[in-house]
Amino acid sequence: MNTTIEPHDLPVAGHSRNPGLPLDLEWVMDARANRSAIERRAASYGTRRSVKKEYQAAWLIKAITCMDLTTLSGDDTEQRVKRLCAKARNPVRPDILHALGLGERRITTGAVCVYHEMIPAARRALEGTNIPVAAVSTGFPAGLSPYRLRVQEIRESVAAGAQEIDIVISRRHVLSGNWQALYDEVREFTEACGDAHIKAILATGELGTLRNVARASRVCMMAGVDFIKTSTGKESVNATLPVSLTMVRAIRDYRERTGVSVGYKPAGGISKAKDALVYLSLMKEELGRPWLEPNLFRFGASSLLGDIERQLEHHVTGRYSASFRHPIG
């Protein structure tokens, strides 16, 4: 079977930067979140629309190109990171790509995300590619290490070669409504990143309310982050559709107010291909076609890639293969 996927379905290079703006507390406090309306709208995704056959295959390839392939375990080794990077370089088996009509295309994941100690190993393994290395920072996942060390951690990860930095915010600033402190913190983190792109992890499962999520999103964008991200993946509640809808609408408001496009990264708990399709649908409907590219959308994922590859094999062969035939690293 030869299912052709058009060039515009493949990733484009380049990142926009967010210069930020002075903290506008009136705009922050104006943020509202109607939970019942948000939950009704979020529940409609995945039921109102669906993509099938070759269109589904194209969307799943798109999801792969928007993926931060991630390993954040205490038992990470250089060999594990090397294997993960090999998968990032060639995320889909060649026979499947040829059957999809993509044998000559260069398909890679959007980035590889690791702890600071694994940055050099990831850089070596990705040499000769355009795949960036992302590093979690600022006392990930809790963000409770001494403040000066959190800032220094960013600088050292950038010096080690990380092109993207995923920082965690101090949740206490959100829970106490200290928006000035949150802005000042994230602004300093942003400045410490220099030319590296910065993603702010809100840890939404620990923020209490969707209104807090909306307000924290606005503050972080004003402070100059390039992406806002749901979770560390270590909380009891990670990415959800209501939280995602709240955050992408904050991105839309920021775009309308400033003309600047900020990216979005759901992370934690997204492990099935069908879930990836729902999130892509949400991004397209709420923010438009530009947010289906890796410069503005990423999945924080580890096991998701294996299920997507399995679904692609089913598309070209008509049979489901065992999960162990699609190892991640």
| Contact between residue 133 and residue 89 where contact means Cβ atoms under 8 Å apart | no
| DSSP structure string for 121-188 | HHHHHTTTS-PPEEEE-SSTTTT-S-HHHHHHHHHHHHHTT-SEEEEE--HHHHHTT-HHHHHHHHHH
Q: Which of 294, 301, 298 is nearest to 271 (CA)?
A: 301
- State yes or no: is 272 an active-site residue: no
- State yes or no: is 199 an active-site residue: no
Q: Catalytic one among 87, 199, 265, 307?
A: 265
Q: Which of 230, 176, 160, 158 is nearest to 200 (CA)?
A: 230
| DSSP structure string for 68-133 | EEE---TT--HHHHHHHHHHHHS-S-HHHHHHTT-TTS----SEEEE-GGGHHHHHHHTTTS-PPE
- State yes or no: is 166 an active-site residue: yes
Q: Which helix (H) or strand (E) holds 22?
A: none
Q: Which of 229, 216, 61 is nearest to 136 (CA)?
A: 229
Q: Which pairing describes strands 197-201 and 299-301: parallel, antiparallel, or unpaired?
A: unpaired
Q: Catalytic one among 68, 229, 275, 307?
A: 229
Q: Catalytic one among 166, 226, 275, 307?
A: 166
Q: Which residues are catalytic?
A: 166, 229, 265
